[in-house]
């Protein structure tokens, strides 16, 4: 799971968005990303993220379907 760099986000929120600290901390991460605009989009999933998903949700064959899935 990707973690947020809270110190960097706080700096941007206070300096570029001119938010008060209480207003910054009241935002959800999604709201903050929307305020930051398209340049703040999440990075694509890397190999580590994919492997974590595969471990959490392994593919299993379903015997009840013709193709096995």
pLDDT tens string, the chain, 69 residues long: the values are 467 788 888 898 999 899 999 999 999 888 888 888 876 655 677 888 888 888 888 887 766 666 655
Rounded-to-integer distance, Cα 14 and Cα 28, Å:
15
Please give the pLDDT value at position 52. Answer: 87
Please give the pLDDT value at position 23. Answer: 95
Length of the chain: 69
Q: Evaluate if pTM is beyond 0.85.
A: no
Residue with tokens 């760099």: 5
Domain boundaries, the chain: 6-56
């Amino acid at each position: 799971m990707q973690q947020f760099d809270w110190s960097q986000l706080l700096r941007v929120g206070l300096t570029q968005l001119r938010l008060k600290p209480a207003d910054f901390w009241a935002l959800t991460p999604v709201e903050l990303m929307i305020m930051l605009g398209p340049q703040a989009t999440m990075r694509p999933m890397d190999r580590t993220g994919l492997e974590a998903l595969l471990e959490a949700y392994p593919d299993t064959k379903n015997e009840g379907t013709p193709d096995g899935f």
